[in-house]
Structure 1
Amino acid sequence: MKILPGLVAIALSLSLAACGKGDGTPKSSGDPITAVAPPAGTTWSDTVNETPDGHFIMGNPQAKLKLAEYASYTCSHCRDFSAEASEEIRALVNTGKMSYELRNYVRDPIDIATALLARCGGKDIFYPLSEQFFANQNAMFAKAQALGDPKYQALMSAPPKQRFGQLAQAVGLVDFAKQRGIAQAQADQCLADTAAAEKLAKGVEAANSQYQLSGTPTFLINDAVVENATTWAVLKAKLKEAGI
């Protein structure tokens, strides 16, 4: 994915990366990992911290196994993975053996708008809100398709600070977020944050450069891309091989 300079180019010309596989081999000894209890009165899956590069990581910050996922809210494979794996991932995170990090890999303007809203409430609701956005994907696509190309192009021609807000409103994302605790004024502010949108898009360029990603979802175990893993069944086997 080539990120062109300027938000206008990003919004209008951001090319679609495939929903597909990554290649690589995770770096792990495969020795069994010992469980680590969370601080008293907490669970690891409710422990979420922001990383220096702006991602949100769930679980034990010192976990021996670090799982990261590059995912797109407009990718059907990512939607299916979220539905199938989220509960089991939380269970593994709760052992303290593994942390989990969802990294936004934005592929199109609707993806950017969704990511801005998912991040709008901060680290404490990012994961449940992300799961709900994935579950809402089909309904969102239906509204997007009903717009028609002339309406969509008109939305994309709006000034940068209005573009993602108008798009998110048109495809039902703002109302969806409001029903889950994001106030209208808060949503408006997040969707008008052109610097945040630029950062999301440039993060894709950085990820492609570092990991040579070929599509979404792509998974990393201890910072190495996992080969041919796009489903939970395959990834779970890889995690077991890594010591979970």
Structure 2
Amino acid sequence: MKRIAKTTAALLACTMATACNGEATGTVEAPTAPVETVAAPDGQAWSDVVTKTEAGGYVMGNPDAPVKLIEYGSLTCGACARFELAGAEELVQQYVETGRVSWEFRNFIRDPIDMTAALIARCGTTEQYFPFQRALFQNQQDWAGKGYQYLQSNSTANMAPEEVFKTLAEVTGLKTFAAQRGISPAKVDACLAEPGAADVLLAMNETANSDYGVNSTPTHIVNGVTQPSSAAQWEGLGPVIATAVGDAS
């Protein structure tokens, strides 16, 4: 609990655009032949297949896809919202649905508002995760804006972490937002107070820094190779994925 409290305070001092580490990048190799399409299980589309990973993220698509995309993103990050709203549909339709690419989202927590939203997003079922996250990005300016206004006018220094999260869930409207999407207020309260839940998210930050050199959101990793900031948006990431599946000319 002390660790969470210290980290929550530290996150308030963190810049909203970047994390604090260097960036390691490399080139994704093209396969010797184009990756073949893999049919989804009977009665399903690959976009319906969502599982939670050992790293703490949520992965959509064929778990055995030869091309594995990991996105480190923040729910309060405007650039992450742009990627979701401008690029996710093409990513899913062209690559995830073909079974060639799996897409894992891992949270990179930047501040207590982000932590609160992430805990609530993870409160539903695995099937609810990606639709709920998309709705958060679509409405980001509203709920995140309310959260930042609150933090600018109120001190949380003497509040326990779970009290901070619960308060932010109220003032941002996220508790009502979740209820409208099938996650009850009681369940939200339980998720915000769940022991160890915030630690899982903070551990993803640590892995992002130590293993992948993440220094901004969104950051994409393709088959273990961290991509530069030029691939933060779909116009830059799309060609990398095309190369990875052997579609590039």
* TM-score (structure 2 length as normaliser): 0.89
For 2:97 and 2:52, locate their aligned partners in 1 and report how far apart those are by CA, in whole Å.
Answer: 18
Give, as a single letter, the amino acid of the residue that structure 2 aligns with 1:39: P
Query: How far does residue 148 in structure 1 lie from its aligned partner after superposition?
Result: 5.8
Deviations along 1:191-236, one digit per CA (max 9) or x if unpaired, are: 1124111221122012101111111100011111112311111100
Which aligned segments of 4 or more residues in structure 1 are displaced greater than 3 angstroms?
19-23
- Give the match's secondary structure for 1:6: helix
For 1:79 and 1:142, locate their aligned partners in 2 and report how far apart those are by CA, in whole Å.
Answer: 14
For 1:145 and 1:105, locate their aligned partners in 2 and report how far apart those are by CA, in whole Å.
Answer: 18
The yes-or-no answer on 1:135 pairing with 2:138 is yes
Query: How far does residue 24 in structure 1 lie from its aligned partner after superposition?
Result: 1.2
Query: How far does residue 141 in structure 1 lie from its aligned partner after superposition?
Result: 3.1
Question: What are the within-5 Å matches in structure 2 for residues 1-244 of structure 1?
Answer: 6-14=3-11, 15-16=14-15, 18-19=17-18, 23-30=24-31, 31-91=33-93, 92-147=95-150, 149-151=152-154, 153-154=155-156, 157-227=158-228, 228-243=230-245, 244=247
Q: In structure 2, do the counterparts of structure 1 residues 211 and 17 end up closer, same or farther at CA, with 3 Å as the change threshold?
A: farther
* TM-score (structure 1 length as normaliser): 0.91
Deviations along 1:48-85, one digit per CA (max 9) or x if unpaired, are: 11112222111111101111100001111001101011
Q: In structure 2, do the counterparts of structure 1 residues 72 and 39 end up closer, same or farther at CA, with 3 Å as the change threshold?
A: same
Query: How far does residue 168 in structure 1 lie from its aligned partner after superposition?
Result: 1.4
- Give the match's secondary structure for 1:220: strand
Give the gaps of 5 or more residues in structure 1.
none
Query: How far does residue 8 in structure 1 lie from its aligned partner after superposition?
Result: 1.0
For 1:5 and 1:221, locate their aligned partners in 2 and report how far apart those are by CA, in whole Å.
Answer: 35
Deviations along 1:132-186, one digit per CA (max 9) or x if unpaired, are: 11111111133224436342x14x5322332201111111111111111110111
Cα RMSD between the aligned structures? 2.0
For 1:41 and 1:142, locate their aligned partners in 2 and report how far apart those are by CA, in whole Å.
Answer: 40
Give, as a single letter, the amino acid of the residue that structure 2 aligns with 1:210: D
How much identity, in percent, do the aligned residues show?
36
Query: How far does residue 19 in structure 1 lie from its aligned partner after superposition?
Result: 4.6
For 1:86 and 1:161, locate their aligned partners in 2 and report how far apart those are by CA, in whole Å.
Answer: 32
Give, as a single letter, the amino acid of the residue that structure 2 aligns with 1:97: R
Q: Check conservation: 2:39, 2:99, Cα contact below 8 A.
A: yes
Deviations along 1:12-48, one digit per CA (max 9) or x if unpaired, are: 1122363599551244334311000011111111001
Give the gaps of 5 or more residues in structure 2.
none
For 1:122 and 1:105, locate their aligned partners in 2 and report how far apart those are by CA, in whole Å.
Answer: 20
- Give the match's secondary structure for 2:17: coil
For 2:47 and 2:150, locate their aligned partners in 1 and report how far apart those are by CA, in whole Å.
Answer: 38
Q: Check conservation: 1:48, 1:56, Cα contact below 8 A.
A: yes
Q: In structure 2, do the counterparts of structure 1 residues 127 and 166 end up closer, same or farther at CA, with 3 Å as the change threshold?
A: same
